[in-house]
Amino acid sequence: MEWLSGISNLLIPMLIFYIVGYGMVSGVKSYESFLKGAGEGIKVTVEMLPTLIGLLVAVGVLRASGFLDFLATLLGQFMEPLGIPAPVVPLILLKLFSGSAATGLTVDLFRTYGPDSYIGIMASLLMSCSETIFYTISVYFLAAKVTKTRFTLQGALFTVAADIIMSIWLTGVMMG
């Protein structure tokens, strides 16, 4: 197992040397290209900042107000027969908007129920299945200046539904 750790420690430096070496061989000014890309990245970050702040504030308000707990209790009654425990419902909802808030909730679930519990395993699977929908759509489309999203939201919501179904099934297989 140590050899695998050694390979992973060397992988990033080797990748950097490869990129610089390839740039030198092909005549590309790697450092100047890096600086240009970093500058463009900062501009995109500044453009996205209001959207990010809005999403984070909205999620914070939902959590602090107790609305997520209320919604979890309400929806939990309908989700329990489907195999989704009530404490996992807020995680599913938060994951749609904010990965960091969902991560915080996952840590809370681990502390309360344990990472090896049914709820802990389901939370782990849900967190690893997909990206946050509204964050990703707003950030990437804003950065790329895309105005016609077509079927992006429907496709993303379908993916989340598939993620939930697979998480229920895999948790059942692992715990059963």
Residue 93 is predicted with a pLDDT of 85
pLDDT tens digits, one per residue of 77-92: 888 888 888 889 988 8
pLDDT tens digits, one per residue of 21-76: 888 899 888 888 889 988 988 887 888 788 778 877 877 788 789 887 888 888 88
Residues 6+ apart with CB under 8 A from 127: 91, 95, 102, 103, 106
Residue 68 is predicted with a pLDDT of 79
Q: Is the pTM of this model over 0.75?
A: no
Residue 63 is predicted with a pLDDT of 77
Dist. CA 72–CA 68, nearest whole Å: 6
